[in-house]
Structure 1
């Protein structure tokens, strides 16, 4: 019999968090009294994360493990868990206990009100720097202004969704698994609950708080909008017009015999400015071309090395 709730947990170098996470999660599921499976999606780790999970599988048959052939990253691991789950609903959560397992019950209860997706919206974030919060705020603002789909602010992958949404995600088959954007693209009736995010329970995160946020934001923008190219075209048109006016001003000065514009410094400044704009435009185009290149190759998002405790075999 298929479980009612599948809990997908991407992990990498998290040996200290596995057992505390399971203790709290199993207590929640016991209180709810519903059937469940917990799928750990593991990028091969240099620590003993896999060994700890295997020990827990021997204790609890509801725990399963996906091990990938190499490290594909958290987005790919998350999608692998979602597409491998068998539950009527699927919940995605991190193992570091920043997102509390105790929220599983209210998320599931909200889903039962007739929604297809219920995501957890962060009211506050403990342990995050001001710089990280500013980057996050600006990133969501830019994405939602330029993107073709609206991605909820102050959210991560912590959410629960129905089998209907899971199957629609399977049909998308994209190489870059930006889950919060893909779920927003799928649509259907969605809701949220608010919560205060805790600090990490143990260990050090594998997520770069600065470049990681920028990478996620750029991924979301490039994946769900072509408007940056349009903005760049408009910017190029405006700058070309300004260049024409500047050139006309130089001609007028020569004709009337006035020399009020310094020569060398102005030339260097203008050339440097336009060279920077051109490089920015080429970089933006390169991001889109690279994304097209990845999609055309149709390489799989992940490769599974082993499946442990799945009915279809290891």
Structure 2
């Protein structure tokens, strides 16, 4: 890793990762304007600049994002701390339909499939993408722990799990990371006690969508900015009156960023980074220019006064609308 890029420790187990990771989902799915050549070039640049934490999942594509990441890291596995996820199963006939599977036999099969698609012998951080409420978490994590014993996985993680579930999981095997949405307009880990549980249990918080799915960058002005296949069209926060109310929050970020002399994206990322050394944001991007902008956030130092201003504008639950449609919210904080 480039020793000029800041690093953070992932959990109590000693794994060291770049302070900023790279979410790869949008390179293959959910957002419009995908360009595989540019995506591969973005991963190349990330590795060259010292980012080692790459985040993917078997449901992105589905499957194609793991394949893309696998091609990108071929021949330089030692440069990468590779994270992927299992548990969300998309319907073969209709990928918009999905279920959650945490059965031990599925855990083993999903891991084998991911290893093949990624072209690697082991996964550094293996997450359960969503908790299966029908399977005891002890059974799921027990199967994940078996993968560690077999040398196929190094560290374990959960995503969008409740504080209670996290505690039960840690009693089975050390959990290195909890991945949850966390940003200025999504402070749920604070309000639902999962961040406190992480700190009590020695688990790092890996923050996905730290830029509010692009909203906090100031680039989105209306629903017309979304292509037909952009999944944000289905998000309550990006619809109707909610969009208008949330736009005022984005404007506040722009104003404060202008005062500081950085971009809105850099300000929003700097706020997440300032919340603790045990928090690792993984902003997703599929373009090199946005990657460079995001890296600039590591140089943004917010004063106590600026942090207080942001906290005043963005108290927990300030965003209008839920993060996902109602059906998807059923698997959050499980």
TM-score by length of 1: 0.32
Looking at secondary structure, tell me which structure has more helix per residue: 1
In our comparison, the structure showing a higher alpha carbon Rg is 1
